Amino acid sequence: MIDIAAQFGDNLARARRQADLSQEELSVMASLHRTEISQLERGLRIARIDTLVKLASSLEVSAGDLLAGLSWSPGGKRLGAFVERREK
């Protein structure tokens, strides 16, 4: 199991440092509270997609870059169900 919030937080903190921005600067560019950025970087909350778009554009990275390391293995299409079995 991946800790989604922690992985995203690591990605965000790394991208922010690479962009040489403070949390305060990023918060102004992305119109977010600095507190929210701090909480996201520490894995204390999970971002919504509008926040993802704001952060990725402000950091000049792709949304995929900020989601690096996050993946999902899809389940099968159908739920199990009782079926009729014909006796031979």
User: Is residue 62 involved in binding its own copies (CB under 8 A)?
Assistant: yes
Residue 26 CB, nearest approach to its own copies (Å): 8
User: Is residue 72 involved in binding its own copies (CB under 8 A)?
Assistant: yes
Binding mask 19-58 for its own copies (x = CB under 8 A): --x---x--xxxx--------------xxxxx-xxx-xxx
The rounded radius of gyration (Å) of the Cα atoms in the chain is 19
For residues 67 and 1, what is the distance between their CA atoms, to the nearest angstrom? 15
Please state at what angle helix 49-59 crosses helix 34-41, rounded to 10 degrees.
Answer: 100
Question: Where does this chain bind its own copies (CB under 8 A)?
Answer: 4, 8, 21, 25, 28-31, 46-50, 52-54, 56-58, 62-64, 67, 70-80, 82
